[in-house]
Amino acid sequence: MYGSYSAYARAEVLEHPTRLLIRFRCKRCGQDSRLKHPYINAVVGFAMSVVLFVVIYQQALAEGGWGLSIVLGVLLGIVLLTMLSYAVTRVANRYIPLARGEL
Q: Does the pLDDT value for residue 3 go beyond 60?
A: no
Q: Does the pLDDT value for residue 30 go beyond 80?
A: no
Whole-model pTM: value is 0.61
Give me the DSSP letters along 2-44. ---S--EEEEEEETTTTEEEEEEE-TTT--EEEESSTTHHHHH
Q: Does the pLDDT value for residue 4 go beyond 70?
A: no
Q: Does the pLDDT value for residue 25 go beyond 70?
A: yes
Mean pLDDT to the nearest integer, 75-103: 78
